[in-house]
Structure 1
Amino acid sequence: MITDLYTERLHLRKLTIDDSSSLFKIWSDPEVTKFMNISNFTTEDQAKEIITYLDKLALDNKAIRFSLIELKTNEIIGSCGYNNLDFENAKAEIGYDLAKKHWGKGYASEFISTLTSYAFNSLNFNRIEARVEPDNINSIKVLQKLGYTFEGTLRQCEKSKGKFIDLNIYSKLKTD
């Protein structure tokens, strides 16, 4: 089911254990993990554990995670994918992270747009969701730019880094 996806500047391919060194560098940056439900990593083994966990979810058809590879440099610059795949209800949640040095270059719009298209056209999903902390202004701006609709705030709906946090929910429908 997992296929490679391409954008103008990026290659999205299935995450593998061989990506752990590159992803550790990204996931160890506190600015990158600020709005993720993980604390910044201190060892590469933590990256390997997450990749192994995501691999198991993929085998169970519950998630798909891609490494984001910049075509120009062949460098892994982040990861993205679908969480909570729900084939019965034709919906999924998207999630993503990007190395800080690549912020502000339009990569997020590029890969989120590709994930959204693939979900609608190849997975035949009807709805894509994104859950974003209210203070994650950059992520919110990208989702709004791509036509995602703000549906509301889920108050203290998730525990992250030891405290309950609010999450804004955004969605896009196939008919949007």
Structure 2
Amino acid sequence: MVTDIYTERLHLRKMHINDSPSLFKIWSDPDVTKFMNIDNFKNESQAKEIISYLNELAEDEKAIRYSIIESTSGDIIGSCGFNSLDFDNEKAEIGYELAKSHWGKGYAPEAIDGLLDYAFNTLKLNRIEAKVEPENINSIKVLEKLHFIYEGTLRQSEKSKGRFIDLNMYSLLRTEKRL
């Protein structure tokens, strides 16, 4: 089920355990993890644990997580993927993060657009969801650029870092995807 995805500047491939040094650098940055449901990592073993866990979910077809690789340099600059796959209802939730040094360069929308093409054309999903903290303005801008529709706020929907947080729900339907 997991296949590589290529965009103009990026290669998205299933995470490997040997990606842990690069991903640890990203996940240890408090600015990157600010809106993630994890605290910034303190050691590389945490990255290895998460990668192993995500790969187990992929084997069970419950999630898929990709390392985002910049094609020209071969560097891992982030990760993205389907946090939950629901084939019965033909939908999935997406998530993504980039190394701070790559913010503002259009990599996030490019990676997500690649995920969307894969979701709609290969996995034959109908709906892609994204849940974003209302304060995460940069992520909201990415979703709006890709024509996701704001559906409302899920009040105190999840507990993150010891507190209940609101999440804005965004979605994109296959019929709304602009080619």
1:127 aligns with 127
Q: Distance in 2 between matches of 1:38 and 1:149?
A: 26
**Equivalent-residue separation in structure 2 for 1:43 and 1:93 (angstroms):** 28
1:114 aligns to what? 114
- CA distance in structure 2 between the partners assigned to 1:16 and 1:134 by the alignment: 32
Alignment-mate amino acid for residue 144 of structure 2 = Q
Cα deviation, residue 54, structure 1: 0.3
Q: Whole-Å Cα distance in 1 between the matches of residues 102 and 150 of structure 2?
A: 26
Equivalent residues in 2 for 1:17-166, closer than 5 Å: 17-166=17-166
How far is the alpha carbon of 1:117 from its aligned partner?
Answer: 1.1
Sequence identity (%): 71
Amino acid at match of 2:72: K
Unaligned 5+ runs, structure 1: none
How far 1:79 sits from its partner (Å)? Answer: 0.3
Cα distance in 2 for partners of 1:114, 1:65 equals 13
1:5 aligns with 2:2: no
Q: Which amino acid aligns with 1:138?
A: N
Deviation for aligned residue 1:145: 1.0
Aligned mates of 2:19, 2:84 — CA distance in 1 = 22
The C-alpha deviation readout for 1:26-56, integer Å capped at 9, x for no partner, is 0000000000000000000000010011011
For residue 170 of structure 1, what is the aligned residue in structure 2? 170
Cα drift, residue 132 of structure 1: 0.3
Question: AA paired with 2:97?
Answer: D
Work out the CA distance in 2 between the residues paired with 1:84 and 1:145.
Answer: 22
1:167 is displaced (CA, Å) by: 0.4
List, as ranges, runs of 4+ consecutive aligned residues in structure 1 with deviation greater than 4 Å.
Answer: none
Instruction: With the length of structure 1 as denominator, give the TM-score of the two structures.
Output: 0.99
Give the Å deviation of 1:61: 0.5
The one-letter code matched in structure 1 to 2:117 is S
TM-score, normalised to structure 2, is 0.97
Q: Which runs of 5+ in 2 are unaligned?
A: none
Q: Secondary structure at the match of 2:175?
A: coil
